[in-house]
């Protein structure tokens, strides 16, 4: 079965999963040549080891609580909060309370005014 990625103009539901969080799956929602947006489920106690990506990254906590490590420090990322990273910034995440996060990776160039 082919995975569905949103088309331009298509509305995508990123609301918290609530009681369905434990049954949630990681899913790429948008995928283009320069942009990737995906929902990542991180149960309490699980870790996503130190890694980096080549594009700029925004990690937004949709629900739960995540320990976010980057730039030599640990921070708590809670529901409704986000963090921005430059490309190739090493970072790691650990679920503190069952969480889902929305990750946006931009790897292209844009014309800034």
pLDDT digits (tens, 9 = 90+) for 6-48: 999 999 999 999 999 999 889 999 999 999 999 999 999 999 8
Domain-embedded: residue 15: no
- Bridge partners for 68 per DSSP: 75, 93
107, 26, 105, 40: which is closest to 77 by C-alpha?
A: 40
Q: Kindly report the CATH number assigned to the domain that includes residue 102.
A: 2.60.120.10
Domain-embedded: residue 14: no
pLDDT digits (tens, 9 = 90+) for 54-83: 889 999 999 999 999 998 999 999 999 999
pLDDT at 28: 93
Domain-embedded: residue 24: no
Domain-embedded: residue 77: yes
Please check whether residue 39 is in contact with residue 24, taking contact to mean a CB–CB distance below 8 angstroms.
Answer: yes
């Amino acid at each position: 079965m082919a995975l569905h990625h949103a088309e331009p103009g298509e509305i995508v539901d990123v609301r918290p999963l609530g009681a369905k969080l434990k049954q949630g799956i990681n899913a790429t929602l948008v995928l283009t040549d320069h942009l990737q947006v995906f929902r990542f489920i991180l149960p309490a106690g699980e870790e996503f080891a130190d890694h980096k990506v080549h594009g700029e990254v925004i990690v937004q906590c949709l629900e739960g609580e995540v320990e976010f490590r980057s730039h030599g420090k640990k921070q708590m990322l809670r529901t409704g909060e986000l963090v921005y990273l430059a490309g190739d910034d090493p970072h790691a995440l650990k679920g503190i309370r069952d969480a889902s996060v929305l990750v946006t990776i931009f790897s292209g160039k844009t014309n800034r005014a």
